[in-house]
Structure formats: structure tokens, C-alpha cells
Amino acid sequence: MNDVPIPRDSPAYQEFKRLHDLAHQMRPGSADRWNGDLYASSNPTRFGALDPQGNMRLSQTLVLDHLSGATDPSRRAEQAQAIATVLHESLHSRVPMDDPGNPDAQRNLQSRALDEGLTEYQTVSNFQAFADLAGYQDLPTPPAQYDSAYVATTRVLDYAAGPDTSRRKLADRALDAPVSMRFNALADEIVRTRLDGVVPPEPQHQQAARAEVSTALADMSWQGLAHSGAGLGGGVARESIERVERAVGRIEQHYQQSPDRPYGAAPAAGSGQGLGGEQQRLAGTAEGVAAGPPQQAGPGQGGPAQGERGPVDLAQLPPAEAAARLEGVAAQGAQVHGWQEQGPPVQGQQGQGQAMPGQMTAGQPGQVAAGQRVPVEMRAAFSGQAPAAGAVQSAPKLGDGSRGSSGAEATAGRSVGPRNEPTGRDRD
């Protein structure tokens, strides 16, 4: 299928650019990887994708045809998916994929799956605020895509977040990091809260502990989550958490015996093939979520640990599609304006009550025009923190991130490979 370039003076291009710029104003990042070229795709299984060269590819029938500038009551569900796709792909573009030279970087398929889970979480959580500011009021919040990656991500966020850090704030911090550094951002929170007073504050001790926890967290079972169907996310989260619990125990034992010597971190897994390809948004509602909000996973859930997994042959896995958004089941039910901290609504659920701490609630109806800046307080509320021009610069070093393929649950490792496949959102 050949993608067709969209002229920059066309109404479709101008509307997408307005929405893309609005997304970046509401949540500034350290980069904008979109190169300015927009293509109409005829791929019937994908909403959209941001490829490694920075080209934005959106489905003509699923996305571009519904970017009319205002709500059409006859096609609210279709417009909701189109607006969610624009937000998802724009979030992918706001940070870089890698932090070159950083020894803690996880350049693997696990990082791609976490990237999709985090980006879809942010997309669903901020959909109403974004749609209302963009002039698309009264749209239903679409169900979360990337089934298993979404569920695994939300449960790991619940586990990792400390007593003074909400799931939302931790997700914000991870999303400000390069894609290859996001497991490290979660590991930093675990070391800070679970190993406070155990690991000395010196950088060499902190780095070694983060590396051990990050390696344990990025279990090989993450590798296929961005491509597999529903049902795997909960099990992957449990396995990762069990590995982290064992890693925390090893670190505690080490410092009881050798309090002055940095912990010897395990080597990173993977063979360097994980970050190549498109960042897509794929279809499918989050598995296990429709029956209730994601539950906090913990040690001992789901049966005994199976031990460490060995390396896998990445050549036998399907090629990664890092940033596509795939079409899922049409959103149903009443529109939702905010969610409690336990998580955003998915198909079959409706939000209740107040917005999450740090989440921007739907504002007054009214479209934000091209070139019009979003107030600083709105950007701060949207991101859950003061707006920043770049990535967070605290340990672990945080950078930019992008949005990969969605819709599936499976397995993952550590390494950056050829960037010859776009990331996008696909349709089941």
C-alpha cells in the first residue's frame, strides 16, 4: 500500500498541525521528531504511525477524514479515535528514542512495549482535556489500546510508585525520559522508596542499584506485548514484580555484608534490535481492565516465581512496530471527564468523580486556534508538573520518548537496532 503525501496548504494538513502543536504546548518535551511531512495511509489495520525518519502517517478513513475542526454528533466515536491517535502520535514525537552512551539504557523490545503502554496511558488520561481545548467537545473517551502493554504498564506503575508519588506523576517522569531510559526511571523510584537507607547516596551505589532493579523489571516477557493480543499483561506484570522483589532482596543482603562496596549489577539483556521501527497505535481494549480498574500487583501474586528467563533469539520474533495506533472497538457509553487515581476508564467502564491529582480537567468549550498558546497553568496541570523545555535532568538521566506499536501482549530485551520500521497505532 502506497501512502499519499498531504499538501501543506491543505485543510487536512493544517488541522493536524494545529492539533499536533496544541499537544506539544500542553505537554512540552525536549524535542519534536515530526519532520513536518504528513502522509495519508490506506492501511486498514492502523490508525497512524510516526516512522524513524520523522514522517507522520495517518489513516485517511480512520483519522484524517474525521479531523473537521469541530464535533460532528453523527460520528462522535470515530472522531474520538482520530483525536486520540493525533494525541498519541504527538506524544511519541516529543522526546528522543535513545540516550546515547548511557550505560543504563535498555535498547530492546521491552522498552518499546513500555513506551506504548505509557503513551496510551497518557493519551486516555488526558483525552478529554485535549479534545475540549481543541474544539472537539462532547466526545466519548475511547477505550485504551495496546491491550497487554497497557495493563502491564499500569500495574507496574502502581507497584513502583512510592508513598509520595502518584501513578500519574511517575508516568510523567518516565515519559520525559528517552524510550531507552524509561525502565530506569521506574527503577529509580523503586530504589528511592524501597531501598532508602540501604543503598548509600553516592552516585556509584545508586547507579548500580538502579541497574539491577531495571534489569529485573525489564523481564524478557515484555518483548511481545506491543504485538500480542489481550490476556498477557497481568502475568507479565506479576513476573516483573517478582523479579524486582528478588533483586531488592539481593541488594539488601549485599549491603548487610559489604556496606561500602557498590552492588555488582547484572548485565543488560537483549541484542540491540529493540528500538527500530515505527511508533504506532494499535487496536484492542486493555485486557483485564474492563472488569475493573488495574489492581496493584505485588509479590506472591499469580503463583510461584519461575526463575530468571534466558535470552531469546530476537531474529525469530516479528519485526517491531514502535509507534502505530491501531483501531479498537468503538467507544461506548457516556463521555467521561475525569478519573480517580486508580486509572482511566476503558470500554465497559465510566469514570467517576474527580480528575486524578495532576490531571487537567476539561475546560470551557472553545477551540484553541493554530498559533495560540496554551496558558502556563494549563500546561502544568496537563503534565502534572511545571512545564519544562527539556527532559528531567536528575538521576536517572531522563530524556525524550516516542510512541510505538500497540495492541498486543508478549515478550522483550535490551538494545537499539536498525530504525527501518515506523511506530504506529494499528487496528485489529
What percentage of the chain reaches a pLDDT higher than 90? Answer: 57
Query: For residues 418 and 166, what is the distance between their CA atoms, to the nearest angstrom?
Result: 35
Q: How far apart are the first and last CA of the chain?
A: 18
Mean pLDDT across 222-226: 86
The CA radius of gyration of the chain, in Å to the nearest whole number, is 20
The CA distance from 216 to 220, in Å, is 9
Burial track 221-237 (b if 16+ CB lie within 10 A, e otherwise): bbbbbbbbebebbbbbb
Please tell me the predicted confidence (pLDDT) of residue 354.
37
Q: What are residue 48's DSSP bridge partners? A: 325, 425
pLDDT at 226: 75
| For residue 54, pLDDT beyond 70 | yes
Q: What is the pLDDT of residue 308?
A: 38
Position 179 pLDDT exceeds 60 = yes
Q: Is the peptide bond before 396 cis (omega within 30 degrees of 0)?
A: yes
For residue 5, the surrounding DSSP H or E stretch is strand 4-5
Mean pLDDT value across residues 369-378: 57
Predicted confidence at residue 323, as pLDDT, reads 47
Mean pLDDT over 125-146 rounds to 96
Name the more confident of 52 and 366.
52
Average pLDDT, the chain: 74
Q: Work out the average pLDDT over 271-278.
A: 61
- Phi/psi of residue 265, each to 5°? -75, 150
Higher pLDDT, 336 or 396: 396
Residue-level pLDDT at 370: 61
Summarize pLDDT for 76-103 with one digit per residue, the tens: 999 999 999 999 999 999 999 999 999 8
Instruction: With a cut of 90, say whether residue 311 has pLDDT above it.
Output: no
Q: Which residue has the higher pLDDT, 270 or 39?
A: 39
Q: Is residue 345 scored above 70 in pLDDT?
A: no
Q: Read off the pLDDT band of 306 (50, 70, 90).
A: very low
Mean pLDDT of the region 261-286: 63
